[in-house]
Amino acid sequence: MKQVMHISWEYPPWVVGELSQELKSLLPEIAKRVRTILVVRGDRDWVTEADGIRIFECASSIRSSPHILAYIHALNIDLLRGASKAIHEGGDVPVVHTHDWVSGLAGVYLKACFGAPLVASVYTTELTRSKALGSLLNMGIFDIERYYFNRSDLVVIKSLEMKEHLEENYGLESGKIALARSADELMEAYRRLQE
């Protein structure tokens, strides 16, 4: 494996929740082991490097949106634009690793267009956050998650409870799910894709 491209909607200084800090701890460790690219939303289109990571920031093409799901689709197009730029610059199609449902569709598109192996990190799901699919918004997010998880080549989790949850509620097969709580375990999961 030559490189891994991580795609996320948050990374410092973009902080929405805990994902940003999770990635800030993880990605420099991954970068010590393999060439690492990060595609993330930003204030402008910009390429920089930090902690051994080549970072492609993508400005929002749409500044306001009538609905969160419309915004998510527009964001994924922006992330796809940044990822395509990174692939064009680097010359190789990397393993693509998306974090959270918000950026998952960009990974699905990259897999479809470039044949990139797709890894999905799942931290929570709509069912674990809301406990029920009681609204159209909950159902819409659940459907995006299900589509994204099922099209991924590997789904990475941090707990056995999440593994059971994904098998029961999203129909994922056990062999498609990898427990990875550290950079070393994540690198081992990436190696599974090469077998």
- What domain range includes position 45? 3-194
pLDDT digits (tens, 9 = 90+) for 23-78: 999 999 999 999 999 999 998 999 999 999 999 999 998 878 889 999 999 999 99
Please report where in the chains the tokens 């009681």 appear, as a residue.
134
Cα 185 to chain centroid, rounded = 17
Q: What is 66-119 written as a DSSP string?
A: SSHHHHHHHHHHHHHHHHHHHHHHH-SPPEEEEESHHHHHHHHHHHHHH---EE
**Range of lowest pLDDT (39-43, 119-123, 141-145, 161-165):** 39-43
Tally the domains of the chain. Answer: 1
- Look at the alpha carbons of 102, 106, 109, 110 in this order and tell me if their dihedral is positive or negative: negative
Give the pLDDT confidence score for residue 157 in this predicted structure: 98
- pLDDT at residue 85 above 90? yes
pTM of structure? 0.95
Give the CATH number of the domain where residue 76 resides.
3.40.50.2000
| Average pLDDT across the chain, whole number | 95
